[in-house]
Every structure is written in C-alpha cells, then in structure tokens.
Amino acid sequence: MSLEYTVTYSAKNTYENSVFKAFWQFCIIPEDNGTQQLVHWNFENSLNVFNGLSINGLGFKVIRVHPEVSFKTISFKAKFKVIKQEINPFNFEVDQDIAKGYKSILEIAFKTEHEPFLRKTRFTKLPLKNTSLFSFDKTKSIFDNLIELNTWTFEYIDFKAGVTDVDTTLDTIILKKNGVCQDFSHLFCAIARENHVPTRYVSGYLHQGNGYFGDSQMHAWVEAFVPDVGWIGFDPTNNLLVNENHLKVAHGKDYSDCPPIKGVVYSNGWNETEHSVEVQASQQQ
C-alpha cells in the first residue's frame, strides 16, 4: 500500500535594518529513492524574485535565492507531494556469521570506501573521557548492537526543545542529557563511528501523526551501514527503525552538510527567523 504525504515548509526572516544583498540556499526538497517518489513541488518567496535550482556537492537538489532588491522582511513557502511505500524495516536478513561482520568493517578497502562516514567531525567527535559511553558487544551482530545503541541514545537524552542549537557539540549534549533530533542523531553517529560502523546524518520530514517526537521543524535521523545488508535507517529520537513516516531530503557527515537553510545576509542590527513544518498523510487511492 502507498501513502501520499503533503509537506508544507514555511520560513520568515525579519531584519531591523534594510538588507541590501542576500544569498540563501534551501536543502528541503524530498529526494526520489527506492521507497519514495516526489510527484510535485512548489517554492515561492514573498519578494517574487527568481528561485534557482541546482545540485549540491553531495548530489541533492537545492533551491537558491538571491534578491537584488532592498527589503526588511522576506518569507518563503514550499509545498511537496510525496508518494511513499509502506515499509517493513526488518525486511532483510543479517548474516549469522557475527565474526565475519566485525572483520569486514576493519578491512582497508571497507574503511576507504566509507571514509567520509567514519570521519569524526566537529559534531560527531566524542570527548576523550566519553569514548567508552557505549561499546559494542562483539558476541552480538552489528545490527543488534545498532538496535541497542538506538534504544540507549533514546534513553540517555531527554527530548527538550530550546536547550541546544545548531552549533551545540557533544560535550554539552552529554553533560546536559537534553536535546532535539539533531543531538540524538549526532550522538548515535559518533558512537557508531567510534565502533567502526559508517553512519550518515539524515535530514528530512517526519509525519508525527503516530505521536512521534519532533518539534514542528525538519527532522533528523541516522543511516548506518550494516555489512551484507546496506544502509539501514535508525531514528534514535523515537527509538525505532525508519519507516514510511520518514521522508528523506538529504544526508551528510553531520548537520553542517545538509542544513535546511544557509546563507549570507548583508545588513546590521537584530534579526529574527521563524520556521514551521507541517506533514499530512492520506492513503493513496
């Protein structure tokens, strides 16, 4: 069975003084992949300036906006329609030779192929005193350890909006044990990479109709590479495997590779930004 999702993304930027030049890049378009199809999308801005479309360095679609008029307020609105297949997240078989899996992730060829997603970045580097926060049990498969890491991360951090921001690093998250989906995902990535498992930080949308954690913004989760299976999605914020309620936009090493919006604004004084995301689902006829 298929489900049709309608995603509405809104943002509004307000500045104390006039902006005379600005450049923005939006990474908010759901990707087409084996489980989801982007069937329609629309993006507009309140100044009615041209919206450019291009592909970023990681291969994902981005919208570029460059107003050449002066303004104090600008708003953006996007709508996406996505057809998503129902997913059984456990629809695969894990190799029963546990030792073979651990041997394979230590091979040079594997490390070379997955080097970007084994890298310790500013957001996925554990403080030295915390490198043993969660160690894999080598008597269990890599997948089973990732399942347990998913649950451990869910229980270690309390979901709380407003206590961290896009610049928060793991030392603060581990100390406060509070955060949002971005923080859950960075901690999961860091621990999996510490145990030699490649992980990708994923940016996307979550249909929260089933009571999942989120905060009316874009969601974040993780894809981990399981030998002989491939990339599997884990949502540590909600302690579940990724399913049809997750609409992927992009992935990278960490948040800095796929922020929903980034840009440069030439102005001074205070500014204020508001974002909102709404995801609605209906069964496709």
The CATH class of the 98-257 domain is alpha beta
- Provide the token pair at 90: 């456990």
Q: pLDDT tens digits, residue range 158-215? A: 999 888 998 999 999 999 999 999 999 999 999 999 999 999 999 999 997 766 666 5
pLDDT, position 214: 62
Residue-level pLDDT at 96: 85
- Would you state the pLDDT for residue 28? 97
- Where along the chain do its domains lie? 2-85+259-283, 98-257
- C-alpha 245/C-alpha 85 separation (Å) is 10
Residue among 156, 150, 152 nearest 175 (CA): 156
Q: Which residue ranges of the chain lie beneath pLDDT 50?
A: none
Beta bridge partners of 262: 25
- pTM confidence score: 0.94
The Cα-based distances of 216 to 27, 111, 240, 264, 267 in angstroms read 17, 37, 19, 25, 28
Question: In sequence order, what DSSP letters do the residues of 21-60 get, joined into one string?
Answer: EEEEEE--PPPP-SSEEEEEEEEEETT---EEEEE-TTS-
**pLDDT the model gives residue 263:** 86
Question: Is the CATH number of domain 2-85+259-283 1.10.274.10?
Answer: no
Question: What pLDDT is attached to residue 158?
Answer: 95
DSSP 50-90: -EEEEE-TTS-EEEEE---S-EEEEEEEEEEEEEEE---TT
Cβ neighbour number for residue 47 with a 10 Å cutoff: 16
